[in-house]
Structure 1
């Protein structure tokens, strides 16, 4: 018997979803207020740069013999290279050269091209200010075809007076020389044209200052004007060239001569050459300045004075010269005062011969060199001559005190006698 219809399997089944649970009502969570971040503290404007001047490339020194002249020129070129290295080491943003980059508008094309090659290797921009040795006149180095063609992209000539913005917050106030004989104080002219600014301002100028070298020259820089400008915050630093020794001027600590990067005169004139200045300026809530010196020069021009009255004094001078280091890069000028016999003076001449070879140069300081040479019996005794030769030497000795020619002849006899001993 077949199954009843009530026992038959269904033809299909519906797969219905489970009924969703009734939604539960969440309690409203109060929104939290997120406090806004405090504004970042304002950063005071700051800049670090290098200040240098008075390279006077192409300069020669009359007291240097030929070989030393070449070595000295090479040292001056090397100082320029070292300034670029200092810029990299200190993180300086740029370099300002405050006049007299070149010694003369007629410098050789070799000097121009080699200098620009060196500046092109600097890791930062370089700003060159024309000064009294290289003004922007009709013969200017800076407008020559050789300079224009060789000038790298990072080298800029400050050929127009006024304000040049280096970057946001930093400006240069340039006072270039367009003639060797300006008719006014070029820096005062630029300060008079300035109004207030939030920028860090660096004056780049050249020339003597009345507080150091008073004279009626109309181009001399008025110290009162730069002191007032730095005190009032109209400018933050006055970078100067012309004086070859590092010199801070005034009471603010913001007016400086950098000096020449390599020595150019003896230490009775230049007390502190051979440096470049690293300058850091801050402005804003804190207005401050930091100036540091970096030695880049290698040469020394020394002045020595001494009384000379015996052979012991000659020996003392020899000992002094022997202790000086770096002789091939040192020039010594001597101011000797006193009286020596001909024989003692021969010993001094031999000292000059020896140390003239050992030093870059050994010379006399004409203004302070007053040495008298006389003859006495000891000069003749040292010759040990007989007969006619002794009579002739005695006659020369009698005349030696008053006659330079006789003194030279007696000196020659003494030197010859010494060479035979």
Structure 2
């Protein structure tokens, strides 16, 4: 059995431009703590290999504290570490990878062609290649096949499965013909789960920390177990200290403050939230400044978006000599004889849906 911890797309020293400057600085510090959490998992779980499939850095413009923290932590994993630089952290003369002397257990692939490293004690060979510029349109797997011999043959690459662009497109047929036991990929920021082409297993772990509202929810790495018979299992391990979440709060018929607070989930104190206010309001609309001040203490950072519409008088067309007028007069009579508040809410909602149907508008949110 071979145990692999697979991570990718850390994007260390990302600018976090959507956050205030002080919080952006704090997030970069937290990314350095992310390195410790990742290598701590390798130690505590007894990983045989730690493979990192590119874009460890967001750019070549990195802070010395970051490269030093990464170098120090990787040297303490207790296992071999393999890095395949990606399009953001491509290998070159100004690469962060050339700034330090790396620990002996860390191997950085530096060539666009596949390179092989043998690990006889693990009955394993690791193949990898690097971006050497911000783009590459070829696939290093094309025309290549892992040599038979070692029981486990691991690939580490940054690229796009089914891609057709500038970021190392990887055809599925090349994966199937690769002869690899497992292909550890980076570039796609969502976890793919364990996939298979031919006899080769492959996966994207996704990024371990979201950096914006296009990277919501739990983020982390993959724990891969390969058995001698060619089987594989994968477990997603959450790593993110903070999550990005996009939520909606319908203010129709409610106090906007109450609607907003009720939309905030439990345990979101560390999270970065975007709340979209929807539904109908009075002519005065919503006070985003006041609502932000009210809810901001309940999370790390809050962004409000106003998508509400002003509620019109439901009955302003009831006297028309039209089908709409007939419908409104009928519903107004039913409302006048309604009993409970719940019955009135249902009837008013029916009026709104009826008007939307008659006027060929989008149905309102219930």
Q: Give the TM-score, by structure 2 length.
A: 0.76
1:262 aligns with 2:209: yes
Greater share of residues in helix: 1
1:97: Cα distance to partner? 0.7
1:64 to 7, 19, 33: 19
1:134: Cα distance to partner? 0.5
1:57, 1:121 → 2: CA distance?
19
Q: CA RMSD of the aligned region, Å? A: 2.6
| SS of residue paired to 1:335 | strand
1:360, 1:70 → 2: CA distance?
14
Report Cα offsets for 1:31-86 as digits up to 9, x if no partner.
Answer: xxxxxxxxxxxxxxx32121111111101322222343233223322221112221
1:136, 1:129 → 2: CA distance?
9
2:15, 2:47 → 1: CA distance?
31
**Equivalence for 1:333:** 274
- CA pair 295-110 structure 1, distance change in 2 beyond 3 A: same
Q: Which runs of 5+ in 2 are unaligned?
A: 314-366
| SS of residue paired to 1:260 | coil
- CA pair 66-87 structure 1, distance change in 2 beyond 3 A: same
1:166 aligns with 2:111: no
1:310: Cα distance to partner? 4.3
1:282: Cα distance to partner? 2.3
1:90 aligns with 2:45: yes
| SS of residue paired to 1:116 | helix
1:316, 1:64 → 2: CA distance?
25
1:128 to 83, 107, 111: 83
- CA pair 354-63 structure 1, distance change in 2 beyond 3 A: farther
Structure with max Cα Rg = 1
Report Cα offsets for 1:155-192 as digits up to 9, x if no partner.
Answer: 22122332111234201110211111113123x23x62
Asked whether the 8 Å contact 2:146–2:153 carries over to 1, the reply is: no
- CA pair 167-373 structure 1, distance change in 2 beyond 3 A: farther
Report Cα offsets for 1:270-300 as digits up to 9, x if no partner.
Answer: 36652221212223xx222122222222211
Q: Give the TM-score, by structure 1 length.
A: 0.66
1:246, 1:275 → 2: CA distance?
8
Q: Which runs of 5+ in 1 are unaligned?
A: 1-45, 377-421
- 1:170-209 → structure 2 map (5 Å cutoff): 170-186=124-140, 188-189=141-142, 192-209=144-161
Asked whether the 8 Å contact 2:125–2:150 carries over to 1, the reply is: no
1:271, 1:344 → 2: CA distance?
29
